[in-house]
Amino acid sequence: MSVALGTIRPLPVRTTPVGDPGNLLASLASLPSTAPYAWIRNGEGLIGWGQAAKVVVPPGPGRFAWARQWLAGVFGDAHVDEAVRTPGWGPVAFGSFTFDEDAHGSVLVVPQAVLARRDGRAWMTTIGEAPLQTVSHLRDPGRISYGDGSLTAPEWEHVVARAARRIRDGELEKVVLARDLVATAEHPIDVRLLLDRLARRYPECYTFSVAGLVGATPELLIRRTGQEIESLVLAGTTPRGISAADDLARGAALFASAKDRYEHECAIASVRETLAPLCSSLTTPDEPELLVLPNVQHLASHVSGRLADGASVLDVVAAMHPTAAVGGTPTDTAIKVIRELEGMDRAGYAGPVGWIDAHGDGEWGIALRSGLIRGRRARLFAGGGIMGDSDPAAELAEAQAKFRVMQYALEG
């Protein structure tokens, strides 16, 4: 059901420990064939099904505050065993927010049932009567055909060139531009199969599914556990090499690249500036490290801190989004350039995606390497950071490399 803000009713919640199911991937096949909710990394996380409450969050600058108020009404009187203080214990809401605050489509969903696994412990939360499950085998989508999204490849290269020119002219320092690709399957696309393929091939990423938005993002926007927070900042990318030697050379070139290092410094500065007012302590590294994934390598930096005033994870998400890693620098100018040049609605791509529990703990990533699934159709997204010296052909190649994540999920 969809719940309006003025008609919220407290949820009857029951959470009980269960035997360790092992890797949560093993549970996907037993979920209903309708799109499940998921947040999985290295076999741990949460998977949910059914719908106890759902709301489409109104667009606008106050959308995160509106969402927190809605959640307070839903979670407010839910009984949560305070003796078990584990993130994800009790009722949780999965959420996806659009990249652009003015775009429609942000959503929060409280599943009727959630199976969670963390640090060797597992538990099941149900709201009301547990939903019946109609189990079916994972379905292959069959033959996949691809077509242009909002822009053709040459048109997108032209947009990149225009953006780089505006950066050289001093209007801004960096802008992140995205493009889309449309995939059409022979049969309806089974989200469970996509999740299984993504989580197995990219176990270090956060594999997610919320209201049709499915993907495996390497970028952790924020994790809140009590007052402790963590973030993983990615900016600066190169495709994997065709051999071990080529792979090492590409990683070394990325680490030494003035363009990519500066792009990364912009992203870290943006996160530091945003989190510092919220934290009593904050730690950022002096140098990035290389994060090597099956399809690309990234410059990565781990950020950690302690919240000063008990803000929920959603409050921190509101403060951080959009980061320089997915918007640009300065942010307001970059968003204006994106709206002018990109030529498409990003929907939830590059927006916050994740979950929050009744204590305000949770994990939220940036919805990268993702696609919007509707029946037999999937709209895939990819992008990259544009600097003044960016080469349009190289940026197109980088986006193509990032598309391969969802193409693999579709094709196997």
Kindly report, residue by residue over 73-118, the tens digit of the pLDDT.
888 766 666 556 688 988 999 999 999 999 999 999 999 999 999 9
Q: Is pLDDT of 19 > 60?
A: yes
Domains of the chain plus CATH, in order, are 5-134+143-411 (3.60.120.10)
pLDDT of residue 11: 66
Average pLDDT in the 241-251 region?
Answer: 93
pLDDT at residue 131 in the model: 63
Q: How far apart are alpha carbons 44 and 395 in whole angstroms?
A: 34
Taking alpha carbons only, the member of 111, 93, 115 closest to residue 22 is 115
CB count, 10 Å around CB of 280? 10
pLDDT at site 2: 45
pLDDT at 132: 60
Catalytic residue among 54, 157, 171, 219: 219
Give the CA-trace dihedral at 321, 326, 330, 334, to 10 degrees: -110
The pLDDT value recorded for residue 229 is 95
Does residue 237 register a pLDDT over 70?
yes
Structure tokens at 314: 């959603």
Cβ pair 48, 114 in contact under 8 A:
yes
Question: Which value, to the nearest 10 degrees, does the dihedral of the CA atoms of residues 322, 327, 329, 331 take?
Answer: -50
Counting residues of the chain whose pLDDT is more than 70, the rounded percentage is 93
Look at residue 349 and tell me whether its pLDDT is greater than 50. Answer: yes
Spot the catalytic one: 157, 174, 342, 402.
174
**Residue tagged 């938005």 (tokens):** 213
**Spatial separation of the C-alpha atoms in residues 161 and 107, rounded to whole Å:** 34
pLDDT tens track for 141-199: 999 999 999 999 999 999 999 999 999 999 999 999 999 999 999 999 999 999 999 99
Beta bridge partners of 95: 108, 354
Q: Is residue 4 over pLDDT 70? A: no
d(CA 195, CA 212): 12
Active site residue 174: yes
Give residue 130's pLDDT: 64
**Residue 85, pLDDT score:** 67
Question: Catalytic annotation on 219?
Answer: yes
CA distances from 395 to 154, 257, 271 (A): 12, 15, 24
Buried-state track 111-139, b at ≥16 Cβ within 10 A, e below 16: bbbbbbbeeeebbebbbeeebeeeeeebe
Please tell me whether the overall predicted TM-score, pTM, comes out greater than 0.95 for this model.
no
Assess contact for 183 and 377: CB atoms under 8 A: yes
